[in-house]
Structure 1
Amino acid sequence: MASTCEQVEQGKISWPELVGETGESAADVIENENRLVHTRIILEGTLINRLYICDRVLVWVNNKGITVRTPTIG
């Protein structure tokens, strides 16, 4: 049986097309395209723990709520 990480990574793992979209819209698209992941919208410049979490996607946004980095699993 595949591990949770292996199952998650069989789906889509990055979303470069979402840069420039609102963070909330990007999060909705990500969770619809890979139902095994959970998104977190993070304000650019926020310090976070850089642990790799295979079912998490960080959506980095600027102060206007616009996605500024390619969301990827981790």
Structure 2
Amino acid sequence: MSKTFILDLATNQRVALFNPRQQNWNTHFAWSEDGVYVLGKTAVGRATVDALQMNNHRIVKSRFLWVAAGWHPPADV
């Protein structure tokens, strides 16, 4: 079963998950100042970050290493 809607915990409203084919990443997300966390800027962004666990501890650890190596965050987003 695929999820296309999720609850935005900040507004307690049901919102559609981010669709990269139809929506712009920069509209809904930003990188934290240190480049290791994805921040949701909109209800869609926040709900997507939560639903997809985009800041789970494993990926955050990896991003720290990628930042140190100069590979992250991507310059084109």
Same topology, TM > 0.5: no
Question: What TM-score does the superposition give when structure 1 sets the normalisation length?
Answer: 0.31
Please tell me whether Structure 1 or Structure 2 has the larger radius of gyration of its CA atoms.
Answer: 2
Question: What TM-score does the superposition give when structure 2 sets the normalisation length?
Answer: 0.30
Q: Which has the higher contact order (CA 8 A, sep 6+)?
A: 1
